């Protein structure tokens, strides 16, 4: 497999494991890697320094593995203390693994369609909102160690039900979505932004939860191209080596993302493909890029799951038009919005791509760890700057990190009323919906959200407010 002529030194790989957490990869997924692959295990509870030392001692260049939600913030710190170690997937790519809130903030930033979502850190704001909004709504636990199977997802049909639920569950933050009537949802798995597996999940008759763990059904056939396109867009936005998205197919025909993450259940042969993709990425072409044809899942999905669980190292031949009938992509056509296409034509539209290696943090915790940052005194915080990368070419590139700005309510009011046409009353309406932290984040990352939330807030207000905000920040410097 590996070409002999290329004698370039390969990076040292390490598997990142955590006690009590199921392992997504093991060495067998990296079959053919000629060098020793290290493992490092995080033991939780004050294990950070020991863990860092072990990674250094083992001279690991690349640490591979998923971080569970409850260790995510610790690993953002660990990653900063190991600036020369590349985490795969990166901590930024794993941002969505931490919580539903993070999935939402990621989607807001990249303009990815999701059910309309409301996040409240201030309980009284949530309660006010409940009293004036429409039902049904969905309330979810945003963050938690065992957040799966729809167990923490509730449909509420009235304000009273919502109040009761929140009184009982004490979810923090309060995470609410419009209820989207849906036909089904589709789990799409991607490697290097190429869909490699997809299947439908349908709710049992008369139910709304499409989770198969609740007795729904699944099948692999006829996932629309346009739905795959959305999954690709999301994977690219996350710069993900491997990725899974749950895409809801609404009764209105629209696609919306429900969940996305690097941590998901996958058959071993899929994890082998991820290993092959990563070996290609790490070896500078010494290992070949795996060839995984689009819609392979429709064929493999005909097998019993008990067989799929045992299959390993599946490879496909490449499409050669002259080679008579040897390949399934040759035979089938598919309906798309652009008309009928051969599978091999479609396949060519979904290349497996190399992810980018980035050095700047996209989601620094000083700014994005709402759960822990929230509620601290309101002030302007100078975030710690990243450690400089020593002895490397990147060291010249200053790794600046944006300051986190928090404001008092008084200042926010002043900012809002500085916009022509916004008086005290209107400012209060905005502040009713957004608390100060939320408003700063909205201004920084998705100002259009204010238009969605506040009916009279039109584009001209948004433009002026964004301008006032920029001026305001200038003065803080």
Ligand X SMILES: Nc1ncnc2c1ncn2[C@@H]1O[C@H](COP(=O)(O)OP(=O)(O)O)[C@@H](O)[C@H]1O
Q: Report the interface residues with Mg ion, using CB under 5 A.
A: 259
Nearer to Mg ion, 248 or 292 (CB): 248
Please tell me the distance from the alpha carbon of residue 260 to that of residue 187, in angstroms, as a whole number: 9
- Contact partner, 177, from ligand X, Mg ion, none, Cβ < 5-8 Å per class: ligand X
Nearer to ligand X, 210 or 437 (CB): 210
Binding residues vs ligand X (CB under 6 A):
115, 138, 140, 147-150, 152-153, 177, 179-180, 182, 185, 208-211, 246, 258-259
Minimum distance, C-beta of residue 93 to ligand X, in the bound complex (Å): 19
Please tell me the distance from the alpha carbon of residue 9 to that of residue 179, in angstroms, as a whole number: 53
Minimum distance, C-beta of residue 151 to ligand X, in the bound complex (Å): 6
Nearer to ligand X, 258 or 274 (CB): 258
Minimum distance, C-beta of residue 282 to ligand X, in the bound complex (Å): 32
Q: Are the C-beta atoms of 44 and 72 separated by less than 8 Å?
A: no
Nearer to ligand X, 166 or 443 (CB): 166
* Token digits of residue 195: 């869909």
Residue 202 CB-half CA count within 13 A? 11
Please tell me the distance from the alpha carbon of residue 226 to that of residue 49, in angstroms, as a whole number: 46
- Contact partner, 450, from Mg ion, ligand X, none, Cβ < 5-8 Å per class: none
Minimum distance, C-beta of residue 114 to ligand X, in the bound complex (Å): 8
| Phi-psi group of 191: left, alpha or beta (phi > 0 → left; psi -120 to 50 → alpha; rest → beta) | beta
Minimum distance, C-beta of residue 171 to ligand X, in the bound complex (Å): 13
Task: Please enumerate in sequence order all residues whose Cβ is within 8 A of that of 191, keeping only pairs 6 or more positions apart, or say none.
Answer: 241, 242, 243, 270, 273, 274, 277, 290, 292, 352
- CB atoms under 10 Å from CB of 437, counted, come to 21
Which residue's C-beta sits nearest to Mg ion?
A: 259
Would you call 146 exposed, middle or buried from its count of C-beta atoms within 10 A (0-12, 13-18, 19+)?
exposed
Nearer to ligand X, 14 or 115 (CB): 115
Peptide bond into 173 cis (omega under 30): yes
- Contact partner, 149, from ligand X, Mg ion, none, Cβ < 5-8 Å per class: ligand X
Nearer to Mg ion, 210 or 436 (CB): 210
Minimum distance, C-beta of residue 65 to ligand X, in the bound complex (Å): 21
**Span between the terminal Cα atoms of the chain, in Å:** 56
Nearer to Mg ion, 246 or 438 (CB): 246
- Contact partner, 200, from ligand X, Mg ion, none, Cβ < 5-8 Å per class: none
Minimum distance, C-beta of residue 358 to ligand X, in the bound complex (Å): 28
């Amino acid at each position: 497999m590996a070409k002999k002529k290329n004698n370039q030194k390969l990076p040292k790989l390490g598997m990142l494991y955590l006690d009590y957490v199921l392992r997504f990869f093991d060495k067998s997924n990296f079959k053919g890697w000629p060098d020793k692959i290290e493992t490092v295990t995080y033991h939780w509870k004050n294990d950070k320094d020991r863990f860092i030392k072990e990674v250094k001692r083992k001279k690991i260049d690349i640490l591979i593995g998923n971080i569970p939600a409850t260790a995510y913030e610790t690993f953002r710190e660990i990653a900063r203390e190991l600036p020369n170690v590349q985490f795969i997937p990166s901590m930024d790519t794993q941002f969505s693994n931490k919580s539903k809130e993070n999935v939402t903030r990621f989607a807001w930033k990249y303009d990815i369609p999701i059910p309309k979502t409301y996040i409240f850190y201030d309980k009284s704001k949530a309660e006010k909102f409940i009293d004036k909004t429409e039902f049904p709504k969905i309330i979810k636990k945003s963050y938690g160690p065992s957040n799966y199977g729809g167990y923490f997802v509730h449909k509420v049909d009235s304000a009273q039900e919502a109040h009761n639920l929140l009184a009982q569950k004490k979810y923090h933050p309060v995470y609410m979505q419009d209820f989207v009537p849906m036909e089904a949802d589709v789990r799409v798995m991607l490697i290097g932004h190429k869909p490699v597996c997809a299947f439908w999940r349908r709710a049992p008759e008369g139910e709304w939860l499409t989770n198969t763990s609740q007795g729904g059904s699944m099948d692999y056939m006829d996932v629309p191209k346009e739905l795959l396109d959305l999954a690709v867009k999301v994977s690219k936005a996350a710069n993900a080596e491997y990725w899974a998205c749950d895409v809801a197919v609404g009764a209105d025909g629209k696609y919306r993302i429900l969940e996305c993450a690097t941590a998901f259940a996958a058959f071993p042969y899929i994890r082998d493909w991820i290993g092959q993709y990563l070996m290609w990425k790490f070896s500078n072409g010494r290992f070949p890029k795996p060839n995984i044809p689009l819609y392979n899942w429709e064929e493999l999905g005909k097998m019993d799951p008990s067989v799929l669980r045992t299959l390993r190292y599946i490879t496909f031949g490449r499409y050669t038009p002259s080679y008579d009938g040897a390949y399934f992509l040759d035979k089938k056509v598919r309906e798309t919005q652009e008309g009928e296409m051969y599978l091999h034509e479609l396949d060519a539209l979904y290349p497996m791509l190399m992810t980018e290696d980035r050095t700047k943090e996209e989601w620094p915790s000083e700014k994005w760890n709402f759960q822990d940052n929230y509620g601290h005194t309101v002030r302007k915080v100078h975030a710690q700057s990243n450690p400089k990368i020593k002895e490397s070419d990147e060291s010249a590139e200053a790794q600046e990190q944006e300051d986190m700005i928090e404001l008092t309510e008084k200042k926010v009011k002043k900012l809002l009323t500085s916009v022509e046409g916004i008086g005290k009353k209107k400012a209060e309406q905005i502040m009713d919906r957004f608390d100060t932290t939320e408003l700063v984040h909205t201004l920084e990352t998705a100002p259009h959200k204010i238009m969605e939330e506040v009916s009279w807030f039109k584009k001209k207000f948004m433009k002026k407010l964004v301008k006032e905000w920029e001026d305001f920040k200038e003065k803080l410097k």
